[in-house]
Structure formats: C-alpha cells, structure tokens
Structure 1
Amino acid sequence: MTYRSFLGAAAGAALLLLGVPAGSATADPYDSATADPYESVTVDTTGRIAPDGTITLAGTYRCAGGSGPVFVSSSVSQSQPSVRYGIGGTQAVCDGIEHRWSNSGRPQPGTLKPGAARVEATLMELSPHSGLLLMPRFHAAQQQEIVLVEG
C-alpha cells in the first residue's frame, strides 16, 4: 500500500469508525454557508486510465491553516451513479496558496472505462475534538463531470 493510498484509507476509515455516513458530517460539505469562500477544491476535466486499470484524477485546492491533518480525497462513478470508487488521497498543505493535487487508485479491473464519468473531490480535515477524538471538518467539495481517457 502506498503512502497516498494509506492516507486516503485512513481518512475513510476515520469517517466509518466515527459513524459518519459518506458525504456527510456535522455540516453539509456542499453548503456554501458553512465553507470559507477562500477555500476551494477543483477537478480537472480529464482523468486518465493506465493500461493496468489505475485511475489518476487531479485538480487544485486552496485552504487556510487547520488544527489537524487535511486531505484531498476523490471518488469516481460512471454507469451507476450510486456506485462510487475511491481514488486515493493526498495530504494537503493549508497555507492559503493554491496547490495541485493528484490521486491514483485501481478499482476492480474493468469497472471503469474511457468515457464520461462523475468525480467528487473533497478537502477534509481530521480535526481534534474533545482531546483525542478526530472529527471530519470539510473545507471544500466539488462534484464535476469529466472524461476518462486512456494514457
């Protein structure tokens, strides 16, 4: 398991252990009233599928300092919108400057093919709460239609 895979899995595991349903937390990550307008995450309009089935997604993010580790996670769906495949996780640097992110992952072979897809990218912090408990805090989220291409 690569470091990036570990980070993405750790963030996902933390949400599962806390009993937080996917895509939710104490605040709706898509509610612009709860997000800092300065913080953002974007998704490039093209994703890549390598010959071995590895999917690579990328984009940009910007966030302000936080009290815990911050990650850019991503997932993709294609023919079945209710089925999403997690594609890695990248630790973010929250210094107020725009940075590039890139996540790679290999879902079950043959599940994703070149063509239209929908990506969700989330900028999420694991913030200390009541001592040792880490709770998710969403900085920004973006859903976007993209095209997966071979390469």
Structure 2
Amino acid sequence: MRVRSAALTATAGAALLLLAAPAAPAAPGDARLVAESVTVDPVGRIAADGGVTLSGTYRCTGGSGPVFVSSTVSQGDPSVRYGVGGTRAVCDGLEHRWVNTGTPDTVVLEPGAARVEATLMELRPMGIVPLPSFHARQAQDVTLTAPCPPRGGRGTRPENGRNDS
C-alpha cells in the first residue's frame, strides 16, 4: 500500500510541475501556433485634402476566405466612428505592416487626440453568403497630425491674396 501511495504522490507532483511550467514558444516556421494580432501606430496623419492615414502591424494565420485589416477613427464622441479604408491581409503567420487611407464623408477631422480601432476580419464562406469572422482587434488613443505648412519661398501673400510667382 505504501508503494502505491508514493507512486500516486510522485505522479500527482509531476503533473502539477508540468501544469505550472510555462508553455514553449511557437516555432517560427509553424504558423498554426502563432497568435493573431493587430496593432495601431500612435500617430495618424491628416492630409491637406482631409484624407486620413492610419497604420500599424498585423499577424494572422491561414484563413478559409479573404482577410482584411479595417480601421475606424473617432474624435470627440466615442460612439461615432468613421471608417478609414481597408487593406487585404496576407495570413502567413509573419508580422506585416498595414496602411489605410480614406476621407470621412460627414466630418472634417482635426489635428489632435483621436481614438482608432483596427480589426483583422475574415470573410468566411458559409453557404451562399460569406460571414465575418474576427481574428483580432485593437483600440488605441492616437494623435492625428496635419501637414506642415511650407516654409518661406514663393506662394500666396496674405496681404493681397496674389501669387507672387
């Protein structure tokens, strides 16, 4: 009976040690074991025409349908978000850059604080209509910057509005 108790205790102890050990990282070549993710860069850009450019990185594994990185931006009211472009994703388990550019239809965004959400979404074939399947999402506070005005040189004079070229 004592031998059986000792064996049971040793087995239970080994099981606990295995459960407590950290998981080994995924092998770089095995895309199935890599975590899917999407990030948002801390700075976005506003063009002179009002277009917005947002960017970041993503990582995804193979999907059964097309995968996209979509992005939205909000300023002021967090419940109102504006779509800013979309990028087709390459899902090979490696990290890639994404850059989305678009012009919101109903608002002019201002330089300053904004909230950006990026989503890694697959259109999975399900019967006749593909359905969205979400792989990763990140929301982050960012700073939107405007283009710098030209320095010196030729241009329009403010006092008379004429071009001095």
Instruction: Give yes or no for TM over 0.5.
Output: yes
Match of 1:67 in 2: 64
Deviation readout 1:10-45 (Å, 9 max, x if unpaired): xxxxxxxxxxxxxxxxxxxxxxxxxx8700000000
- Gap regions ≥5 residues in structure 1: 1-35
Distance (whole Å) between structure 2 residues aligned to residue 127 and residue 75 of structure 1: 22
Choose from 139, 142, 149 the match for 2:138: 142
Number of residue pairs the alignment of both structures matches: 115
**Helix, strand or coil: the match of 2:121?**
strand
Distance 2:82 2:34 in 1: 28
TM-score by structure 2 length?
Answer: 0.67
Residue 64 of structure 1: SS of its match in structure 2?
coil
Kept after mapping to 1: 8 A contact 2:122/2:135? yes
Structure-2 separation of matches of 1:92 and 1:49: 24
2:86 is aligned with 1:120: no
**CA RMSD in angstroms, aligned pairs only:** 1.4
Measured against aligned partners, the alpha-carbon deviations of 1:39-76 in whole angstroms (never above 9, x if no partner) come to 00000000000000000000000000000000000000
Greater relative contact order structure (CA < 8 Å, 6+ sep): 1
1:53-64 matched pairs, under 5 angstroms: 53-64=50-61
Computing the radius of gyration from Cα coordinates, the structure with the larger value is 2
Extract unaligned runs of 5+ from structure 2: 1-32, 148-165
Q: Which aligned runs of 4 or more in structure 1 are off by greater than 6 angstroms?
A: none
Deviation at 1:133, TM superposition (A): 1.9
Q: TM-score, normalised by structure 1?
A: 0.73
